Structure 1
């Protein structure tokens, strides 16, 4: 075989190799394009419904606009108006108080309920789990009707009847400073306790049963098992629920609006930050201050979420013991 023939064979081989690589790369590119096309609807919907409104709200925070006329750039004036408004700080106070009263007990009682529902001796477990989770899927209209009757201003209402049993006077729950907060906190607790309980129950079922059996052999009672086994191993689930509860509490809007009805935005006893934002934007037609309130609320949520996550991350850590 001559040298020219060998060179020709090599060229043909290199040509075929290059064509194969090109075909492989083109197929790989097609697969990538197909993958992006399959997931593109989510990103398109997210950009339209989530990203664009957020960016537009950030832009509006520096504008003066009533929703119809021309926008006027005002810089940080909207933030100054909001931060110097006593009603805004009142709404922040209401939001924090209602959030603490409505969500903090969920963590403690949710863990206890999940621990009970996870016991082997309990009968009709599925029935109790469905009953506890039922408030979460109940319509807010039905919730408002039930709690409207429960916290009615009449002496025959269940809440006032219970107060009278303890020698206290009846209360106007929708106009009283603490009455409105207590009623809304009870609504929040009743609606979300089942959600947290189910999450904790899922976490409990991931804990090996051998740990509880070993603890019982060592003489640990139920309280000690809950303290030294359940809570430390539920730490990731507790952090998750605390984070969601913090964000949900600071965004509280539905419960107070539905419970207070027509007077929700005209009274200050239970006005939350989101209600203040809604009132500025859609009642007073001040979209600039409303958007500024949304930005401030975002900062507040980040601060409180980081703080609560940091505090709950210390659950289950053992203190160092130093021997003398």
Structure 2
């Protein structure tokens, strides 16, 4: 009998709600596949961050235990002249690396993108990306050979042809930081250039054609179409490059050692953290410095994002 007939006879029929099971077979399969990633994030990311935060309030020579000291570690770091010197060195090399790296890679990407022959474009892509295949350790050894302070260094040998005295690239405190920047650019340009080339392919050709009709030359098209259209990509590359520059460690450690020689000019914040953690056995001070570095990077990122939103609003 149909529901309509049952209602007409006056029978009260209790309608059963269609309750969905909390865990269906598909839900369990999804949880099972995502569990390794979730567990990995909790164990290798969240747990170390929370543990380091707790350790930063303790006086400890290891990763476990220690006496609770409150903000003493943060006070020690913020009043340590070596920390401020390392922060200055990091910012100095970081600003130069980001400005030169992002701008030069964007210009190179524009030039490669405008090459009319596909084979030559692929050739230049491979040439500029090749340094990214080489490890940073091998790169540091290579540049130690190129920037050898004596006349036997390749770069100083070439400078000697034009009568310039040998330069202490990695031994002169006033030059060593800029030498690290040059070494960074060698590997930085390749990755950034490939990203910018991919972004340039997304710019609509209609905009260039309309600009050509209005009589715009290549420079005006690049300034008023290409650059504004790729502004989000430029911001992304600046933020990523800034974060990478603030975490500089391997190259300065291989070149200047744990002391950041010459004269501490290559001492970065991460190297300062390494010295306190593994050479001075002050894990509490090292974790406090790492969280101060985290706050600095967070503030810089927020400022860049806020300035971008303000410019878009204007």
TM-score between both structures, scaled by the size of structure 1: 0.86
8 Å Cα contact 2:170/2:262 also seen in 1 = no
State the Cα distance separating 1:76 from its structure 2 match.
0.6
d(CA) in 1 for partners of 2:115, 2:65: 66
Change (3 A) 1:304 1:168: farther
8 Å Cα contact 1:181/1:270 also seen in 2 = yes
State the Cα distance separating 1:6 from its structure 2 match.
5.8
8 Å Cα contact 1:235/1:313 also seen in 2 = no
1:26 maps to what in 2? 21
The question of 1:252 aligning with 2:248 is answered: yes
d(CA) in 2 for partners of 1:178, 1:219: 48
Among 200, 204, 223, the residue aligned to 1:208: 204
d(CA) in 1 for partners of 2:284, 2:259: 24
8 Å Cα contact 2:173/2:262 also seen in 1 = no
Pairs within 5 Å for 1:282-321 = 282-311=278-307
The question of 1:235 aligning with 2:231 is answered: yes
Among 125, 131, 136, the residue aligned to 2:127: 131
d(CA) in 2 for partners of 1:120, 1:144: 32
1:226 maps to what in 2? 222
1:75 maps to what in 2? 70
d(CA) in 1 for partners of 2:159, 2:283: 43
Among 34, 39, 45, the residue aligned to 2:40: 45
d(CA) in 1 for partners of 2:213, 2:24: 61
State the Cα distance separating 1:156 from its structure 2 match.
2.8
Among 154, 160, 174, the residue aligned to 2:156: 160
1:87 maps to what in 2? 82
The CA deviation string for residues 79-129 of structure 1, in whole angstroms up to 9 with x for no partner, is: 111111111000000001111122211121111111111115245111111
d(CA) in 2 for partners of 1:8, 1:70: 72
d(CA) in 2 for partners of 1:50, 1:90: 29
d(CA) in 1 for partners of 2:67, 2:167: 47
Instruction: In structure 2, list runs of 5 or more residues that go unmatched.
Output: none
Moved more, 182-191 or 261-270: 261-270
2:103 maps to what in 1? 108
State the Cα distance separating 1:285 from its structure 2 match.
0.6
8 Å Cα contact 1:175/1:269 also seen in 2 = no
TM-score between both structures, scaled by the size of structure 2: 0.89
The question of 1:169 aligning with 2:179 is answered: no
Root mean square deviation, CA, Å: 2.8
Change (3 A) 1:270 1:206: same
Moved more, 297-306 or 173-182: 173-182
Moved more, 302-311 or 228-237: 302-311
Change (3 A) 1:204 1:266: closer
